[in-house]
């Protein structure tokens, strides 16, 4: 951001920071902290069930944290949290709102009614994931349309997503790819916890959902003639059936490490 005047920025649509869930949360943490370092005032909206270190904390590395309520349900959690977050904007007026996930966009008319510029990072084409029923797919389709309708600017994280919005909705978007930390952590407690030796294991990292193909990775691994263990890093809150299938197909050399963040993740990587 090149504006010389410090901005008040609200970041909505993730589960909160510090990151304890997935890619959008990591994006929110890295971006928010960097914007604060540039002199801007940033508020990240959080969900109590995922919020660390406590739902009563007020800031993280200079970023203001605001917790709003939702219902922990596969289909209700995200849109209801978006609604309560948007409604809180009536109590204060940031200079700009950055919204993550097109599924949050049906309620984004509130932002436009308040006259606040709205940038939407739409994510992927979620409605094509097998985990959603027809109602969920319809909601995501509505989210795509309302992102185009209400967004001041649309951001895509890949050219294929930008092409989809251009071809489907005739909507241009700015492609901003994600960066990556190159931090290196020497072997320590995390490797010891899982009885691992440096450079002597295979690593797979993703949210454990069918489209990320963890099952295919496990099937391929169990067909290999190797003594190196396979470490699966990741989880998902609403994928119990799929995670059970993964464990059924795994052998005793597959280690399910669950979520790993910051130094623990860097050590494994």
* Average of per-residue pLDDT across 238-266: 90
Output the CA torsion 123→124→128→132 (10° steps).
-30
Is the fold of 8-175 the same as that of 189-268?
Answer: yes
**103 within 8 A of 143, measured Cβ to Cβ:** yes
Alpha-carbon separation of residue 21 from 3, 26, 220 (angstroms) = 31, 8, 26
Is the pLDDT confidence value at 35 over 90?
A: yes
- Say whether 38 sits in a helix, a strand or coil: coil
User: For residues 173 and 154, is the Cβ–Cβ distance under 8 A?
Assistant: yes
pLDDT band at 54 (very low <50, low <70, confident <90, very high): low
Using one digit for the tens of pLDDT, what is the confidence trace for 116-172? 999 999 988 888 877 788 988 999 999 999 999 999 999 999 999 999 999 999 999
The pLDDT tens digits of the residues spanning 78-91 come to 889 999 999 999 99
| All residues at 6 or more sequence positions from 138 whose CB lies less than 8 Å from its CB, including other chains | 127
Number of H helices, E strands in the chain: 9, 11
Identify the weakest region by mean pLDDT among 53-62, 135-144, 151-160, 212-221.
53-62
The residue among 93 and 262 whose pLDDT is bigger is 93
pLDDT above 90: percentage of residues in the chain: 64
CA 249 to chain centre: 27
Q: Which residue has the higher pLDDT, 54 or 264?
A: 264
- Beta-bridge partner residues of 60: 63
Q: Where are the domains of the chain?
A: 8-175, 189-268
Neighbours of 66 (CB within 10 A): 16
At residue 51, the pLDDT reads 65
What is the rounded distance in angstroms from the CA atom of residue 70 to the CA atom of residue 238?
16
> Domain 8-175 belongs to what topology?
Rossmann fold (3.40.50)
CB 232 within 8 A of CB 214: yes
Q: Can you tell me the distance from the alpha carbon of 61 to that of 29, in angstroms, rounded to the nearest whole number?
A: 9
If you compute the radius of gyration of the chain from its CA atoms, what whole number of angstroms results? 20
| Direct distance between the N- and C-terminal alpha carbons of the chain, in angstroms, rounded to an integer | 31
Does 101 score more than 80 pLDDT? yes
What does the pLDDT average to over 230-254?
A: 91
Q: Which CATH architecture has domain 189-268?
A: 3-Layer(aba) Sandwich (3.40)
Q: Is the pLDDT of residue 2 over 80?
A: no
Q: Tens digits of per-residue pLDDT, 181-194? A: 777 778 888 999 99
């Amino acid at each position: 951001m090149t504006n010389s005047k410090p901005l008040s920025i609200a970041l909505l649509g993730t589960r909160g920071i510090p990151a304890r869930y997935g890619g959008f949360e990591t994006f929110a943490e890295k971006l928010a902290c960097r914007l604060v370092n540039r002199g801007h005032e940033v508020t990240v909206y959080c969900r109590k069930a995922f919020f660390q270190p406590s739902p009563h904390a007020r800031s993280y590395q200079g970023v203001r944290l605001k917790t709003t309520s939702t219902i922990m349900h596969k289909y209700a959690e995200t849109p209801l949290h978006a609604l309560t977050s948007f409604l809180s904007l009536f109590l204060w007026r940031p200079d700009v709102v950055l919204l993550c996930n097109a599924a949050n966009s049906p309620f984004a008319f509130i932002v436009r009614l308040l006259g606040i510029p709205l940038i939407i990072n739409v994510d992927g084409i979620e409605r094509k994931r097998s985990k959603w029923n027809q109602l969920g797919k319809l909601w995501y389709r509505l989210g795509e349309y309302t992102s185009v309708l209400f967004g001041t600017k649309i951001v895509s994280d890949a050219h294929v997503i930008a092409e989809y919005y251009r071809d489907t909705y005739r909507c241009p978007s700015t492609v901003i790819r994600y960066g990556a930390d190159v931090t290196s952590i020497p072997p320590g407690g995390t490797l010891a916890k899982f009885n691992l030796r440096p450079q002597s294991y295979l690593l797979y990292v993703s949210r454990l959902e069918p489209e990320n193909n963890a099952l295919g990775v496990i099937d391929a691994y169990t067909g290999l003639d190797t003594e190196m263990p396979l470490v699966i890093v990741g989880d998902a809150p609403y994928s119990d059936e799929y995670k059970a299938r993964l464990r059924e197909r795994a052998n005793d050399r597959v280690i399910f490490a669950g979520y790993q963040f910051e130094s623990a993740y860097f050590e494994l990587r």
